[in-house]
Amino acid sequence: MRKLLAISRKELNVFFHSPIPYISIGIFGLIIGYIFNAFLAKYLIVQRQQMMFGGAMGGGGLSIHVLLQATFQNIHFFLMLTIPFLTMRSIAEERANQTAALLFTVPLRVSQILGGKFLSLMAVMLLYIAYTAFVPIFCFVYSTPDLSMVLYSYVGLICLAMAYVSLGIFCSTLTKNQMLAGVLAFVFCISFFLFGVLTRDSTHIVAQVFNYLSVTGHVQNFFKGVFSLKDVMYFVSFSFFWLFLSHQMLEGQGWR
């Protein structure tokens, strides 16, 4: 365990030694803030119309819960865009810099190396996710959203991060070219995102299989305030599967 944590600390030190993560987290927060502000402006217009017309115009389908759900869906989308380019260097950089041979010849198991890199990337993603906390905080100050919905939504975002990070690490084991690893991870991530979007209304058995494999349907339950162990197990299994394949790839390439 200490070796795993040592690798994780080393990865974090390297990552935060560059100004890029600070800039990317800042840009990520600004984008989410802009999107939330756009949704909030529409929500306030609807609320103002309701006050003026005594509810005669209806709520327009927009409530504080719909506002939060739409914001969390956009956070999901931008995490999906961000994670592939954070994970692309995890193994590919070691191979490109010819430090992989050194890393894998020290008395460390492949599982410890992968685990350390996974933990460090998850720590970074928790920072990204925590940076969005201004969204529910603002809503709680000026309204009364459902606390369980907010908490479950963040559980869903953490599960998503686990899934995309493990998938990104796997793609990084396939090549020493970091950009290619990033592009591959992006293609994989967008595929698992679109599976659910394109097949959610179909009743065909093949479409239902793809819909189940997609991350979209599983995370939507969290965003709706529904907690299910079945969805948690999906993300845990998804993450374990890609980490296992990463382990097999590295073992197959002759690395202990």
pLDDT in tens, 9-52: 888 888 888 887 888 888 999 999 999 999 888 888 877 776 77
Q: Considering the domain boundaries, does residue 187 fall inside one? A: yes
Q: Residue 156 pLDDT > 50, yes or no?
A: yes
The whole-number average pLDDT for the span 225-238 is: 93
The whole-number average pLDDT for the span 101-118 is: 73
Q: Supply the pLDDT for residue 210.
A: 77
Q: Residue 99 pLDDT > 70, yes or no?
A: no
What percent of the chain is predicted at pLDDT more than 90?
Answer: 43
Give the Cα separation of 245 and 16 in Å (integer).
Answer: 28
Query: pTM (2 decimals)?
Result: 0.86
Lowest-confidence range among 134-143, 204-213, 232-241? Answer: 204-213
Q: Considering the domain boundaries, does residue 150 fall inside one? A: yes
Q: Considering the domain boundaries, does residue 219 fall inside one? A: yes
Chain segment 170-202, per-residue pLDDT in tens: 999 998 888 999 999 999 999 988 876 666 666
The residues near 92 (Cβ < 8 Å, ≥ 6 apart) are 172, 173, 175, 176, 177, 178, 180, 181
Q: Which domain holds residue 84?
A: 2-25+68-132+146-252
Q: Considering the domain boundaries, does residue 168 fall inside one? A: yes
Name the more confident of 38 and 256: 38
What's the structural domain count of the chain? 1
What percent of the chain is predicted at pLDDT more than 70?
Answer: 85
Q: How confident is the model at residue 223 (pLDDT cuts 50, 70, 90)?
A: very high
The listed range with the strongest mean pLDDT (5-14, 142-151, 239-248) is: 239-248
Q: Residue 59 pLDDT > 80, yes or no?
A: no
Q: Considering the domain boundaries, does residue 96 fall inside one? A: yes
The tokens of 115 are what? 């685990």
Q: Supply the pLDDT for residue 103.
A: 54
Candidates 238, 202, 234; CA nearest to 220 is 234
Give the Cα separation of 86 and 84 in Å (integer).
Answer: 5
The listed range with the strongest mean pLDDT (87-96, 117-126, 201-210, 212-221) is: 117-126
Q: Residue 3 pLDDT > 50, yes or no?
A: yes
Q: Residue 216 pLDDT > 80, yes or no?
A: yes
Q: Considering the domain boundaries, does residue 16 fall inside one? A: yes
For the purposes of burial, counting CB atoms within 10 Å of the CB of 68, is it exposed (0-12), middle (13-18) or buried (19 or more)? buried
Q: Supply the pLDDT for residue 217.
A: 84
Q: Considering the domain boundaries, does residue 11 fall inside one? A: yes
Q: Considering the domain boundaries, does residue 94 fall inside one? A: yes
Instruction: Provide φ and ψ at 58, rounded to 5°.
Output: 80, 175
